[in-house]
């Protein structure tokens, strides 16, 4: 297959480019629309050949006044339009498409019409069925939900609209304990990363709201026994700081949550390197900016290996609509 030309909207730190490389899809040119200077700095440091086009709202592909290199034939159009307006965690007093961030989806639709790519892929968060149906009508395909936990140690359910046919990724069996640099974990898979992870977390929100993954100190938390419960070993574990006699605290949820003796429990948030591993981004890829910006862009970005799995099928289709495989 000859090299292809890609246009990536809302490109962020260029996860799409990493995924294409990982899938073995050679690039002729990779164009990117992005306005975050920190994300662009990371992209440029790793891929100096990426052609940055600025704000997607200012881009008109068929404008004859543009330089010729800005009007090539686009083979692949990709993007993950800002999700805050769609997310279940957002402001539900505002209709999804009245949110200015959600309206950026229509820039994807506009440029899809202008560029008429052979293949396309749009990623977004889980959302209300009404909003999902609107996107599907515009794109002409139904989304497939994929949980990143199949290819990484993170629970991260996302919707993918694409005309590239693919089957579900196989479960690689990667656990959180496999990717942390040190310490102990109380679960097999991490909570979903978000752009606010840099703010850290606390024990109360972690155990009660299941937010912002924590890692516990090897010295401050150790497995001291198993509760007398039926089910998977993970729900039986009892931990206690410094290995003292267990004081059992069972969280709500049918014994599914970890049983922890809080005491002097020592904890930390995931490191930037660990977050890169959760998102299957090359280690050190985001190291060109501050840790705060690294956390933000990793929380906003794609799980690369999910997208790479889809891209592996480029070339095996002539742009036909996605097969009903699920």
| Residue with the larger pLDDT of the pair 70 and 60 | 60
pLDDT at res. 216 = 82
pLDDT at res. 243 = 37
Span 11-64, pLDDT tens digits: 999 999 999 999 999 999 999 999 999 999 999 999 999 999 999 999 988 765
Average pLDDT of the chain is: 81
| Residue with the larger pLDDT of the pair 181 and 325 | 181
Rounded percentage of the chain residues whose pLDDT exceeds 90: 56
Span 144-203, pLDDT tens digits: 999 999 999 999 999 999 999 999 999 999 999 999 998 888 889 998 988 888 887 777
Packing angle of the helix pair 105-115, 129-139 (nearest 10 deg): 10
Assess whether pLDDT exceeds 70 at residue 269. yes
pLDDT at res. 229 = 53
Q: Are 221 and 259 in contact (CB under 8 A)?
A: no
pLDDT band for 264, please (50, 70, 90 cuts): low
Of 212, 214, 219, 221, nearest to 249 (Cα)? Answer: 221
Of 91, 25, 8, nearest to 316 (Cα)? Answer: 25
Assess whether pLDDT exceeds 60 at residue 255. no
pLDDT at res. 326 = 32
* CA quadruple 242, 247, 249, 254: dihedral, nearest 10: 110
| Residue with the larger pLDDT of the pair 80 and 223 | 80
pTM of the model: 0.81
Average pLDDT over residues 248-257: 40
Assess whether pLDDT exceeds 80 at residue 89. no
The DSSP code sequence of 89-112 is: TS-TTS-GGGSTTGGGHHHHHHHH
pLDDT band for 218, please (50, 70, 90 cuts): low
- Separation CA 201–CA 194 (nearest Å): 12
pLDDT at res. 96 = 53
What SS3 state is found at 54?
A: strand
Assess whether pLDDT exceeds 90 at residue 227. no
- What domains lie within the chain, and their CATH numbers? 4-171+302-311 (3.40.50.150), 182-270 (no CATH)
pLDDT at res. 154 = 95
pLDDT band for 72, please (50, 70, 90 cuts): confident
- Separation CA 268–CA 264 (nearest Å): 13
| Residue with the larger pLDDT of the pair 249 and 1 | 1
Sign of the Cα pseudo-torsion (18, 19, 22, 23, in order): negative
């Amino acid at each position: 297959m000859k090299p292809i030309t890609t246009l990536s909207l809302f490109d962020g730190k260029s996860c799409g480019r990493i995924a294409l490389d990982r899938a073995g899809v050679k690039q002729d040119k990779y164009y990117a629309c992005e306005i975050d200077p920190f994300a662009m700095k990371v992209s440029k440091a790793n891929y100096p050949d990426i052609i940055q086009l600025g704000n997607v709202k200012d881009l008109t592909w068929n404008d004859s006044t543009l330089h010729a290199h800005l009007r090539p034939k686009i083979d692949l159009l990709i993007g993950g339009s800002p999700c805050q307006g769609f997310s279940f965690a957002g402001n539900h007093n505002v209709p999804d498409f009245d949110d200015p961030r959600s309206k950026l989806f229509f820039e994807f639709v506009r440029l899809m019409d202008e560029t008429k790519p052979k293949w396309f892929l749009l990623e977004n968060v889980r959302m209300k069925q009404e909003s999902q149906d609107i996107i599907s009508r515009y794109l002409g395909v139904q989304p497939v939900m994929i949980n990143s936990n199949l290819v990484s140690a993170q629970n991260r359910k996302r919707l993918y609209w694409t005309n590239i046919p693919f089957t579900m990724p196989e479960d690689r069996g990667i656990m959180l304990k496999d990717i942390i640099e040190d310490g102990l974990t109380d679960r097999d898979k991490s909570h979903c990363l978000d752009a606010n992870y840099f703010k850290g977390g606390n024990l109360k929100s972690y155990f009660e709201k299941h937010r912002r993954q924590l890692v516990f100190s090897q010295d401050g938390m150790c497995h001291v026994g198993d509760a007398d419960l039926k089910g998977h070993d993970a729900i039986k574990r009892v931990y206690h700081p410094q290995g003292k006699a267990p004081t059992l605290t069972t969280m709500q949820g049918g014994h599914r949550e970890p049983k922890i003796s809080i005491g002097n429990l020592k904890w930390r948030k995931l490191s930037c390197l660990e977050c890169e591993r959760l998102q299957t981004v090359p280690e050190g890829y985001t190291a060109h900016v501050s840790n705060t910006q690294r956390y933000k862009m990793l929380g906003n970005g794609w799980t690369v290996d999910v997208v790479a799995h889809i891209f592996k099928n480029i070339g095996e289709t002539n742009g036909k609509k996605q097969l009903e495989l699920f």
